[in-house]
Amino acid sequence: MGATRRRISARSIRTGLTKDRATPAILTLDKPKLAGELVRCITGKLNLIQHPKPTPILRELQGQHIIKCLTPSLPRGRPGTVYGLTAKGRALRAHLCEERGLASVYQQPRINWRSYGWVACGRQKKAIVCAMSDEAMRPKEILQEIKKRYRPRTQRAGAEPMGISRQNLNDILQKAIQGEIVIREEEHRKRGKRKPLARYRLSKTGLKIKQLLTDVS
């Protein structure tokens, strides 16, 4: 196994995957990442996160079967594109981590990666999913949880507080239901003929997405 790792590493460096550019992208892949996150590791340009375009090294990593696109149905360069490591990429990353004394754990659960990319590329969508759980919540409770989670941190960082309107929340929840990320339940009222109250909770897919988003890289 050691010989295999050394052979992969040597061949990768010979074909142009220089340590100062490709290695950070490979090391950051402790789990699948958005294309923009990898581009940022390679180029250091923050403005490429929302609308990433594959750099030559990113294309080379894919061409050498070190990384692979987990959302092939998305158009190229579309926000929400997710990349993960191949078996060859995992071996190379394990070798690089061993050289640096780093943990080489890589997690890639079986989930709908297009749904993950849809959530991960949006600040409000991430906030909503991370504020929810497997317990049904009313929209008002979700907004309160978001306010509690994000307002103190953003204020300390000097940024604007997380602001999500009720309409934006409803729109995102409806799309999340279509993507099987969120499940809608109804709470029937005992008195009168008033409409039942809507409650929302994360599905199994939603819980896996939340775990990936909240795990510290």
7 has a pLDDT exceeding 60: no
Query: Where is the domain boundary, 61, 89, 108?
Result: 108
Provide mean pLDDT across the span 144-155.
70
The alpha carbon torsion through 170, 176, 177, 181 (nearest 10 deg) reads -140
pLDDT at 147 over 60: yes
pTM summary value:
0.78
Q: What is the Cα–Cα distance from 62 to 11, expressed in whole angstroms?
A: 15
Residue 214 structure tokens: 């909240």
> pLDDT at residue 191 above 70?
no
List pLDDT tens digits, range 37-83. Answer: 887 777 665 444 444 455 677 788 888 889 999 998 887 767 888 99
Contact between 210 and 130 under an 8 Å Cβ cutoff? The reply is yes
Within a domain: 113? no
Strand partners, 6: none
Boundaries of domain holding 39: 2-108
Q: What mean pLDDT, rounded, does the chain reach?
A: 79
More confident residue, 133 or 12: 133
Q: Are 203 and 210 in contact (CB under 8 A)?
A: no
Q: What percent of the chain has pLDDT over 70?
A: 74
Structure tokens at 181: 């990320």
Task: Specify if 193 maps to a domain.
Answer: yes
Shared domain for 78 and 139, answered yes or no, is no
Q: What pLDDT does 114 receive?
A: 93
- pLDDT interval class at 28 (50, 70, 90): confident
DSSP string, 139-150: HHHHHHHHHHHH
Least trusted range by pLDDT, from 35-39, 147-151, 163-167: 147-151
Question: How many domains, in total, are found in the chain?
Answer: 2
Cβ atoms 27, 97 nearer than 8 A: yes
The tokens of 153 are what? 């941190």
- Asked whether residue 157 carries a pLDDT value surpassing 50, the answer given is no
CATH of the domain at 177: 1.10.10.10
> How does pLDDT run across 104-125, given as a tens digit for each residue?
889 898 999 999 999 999 889 9
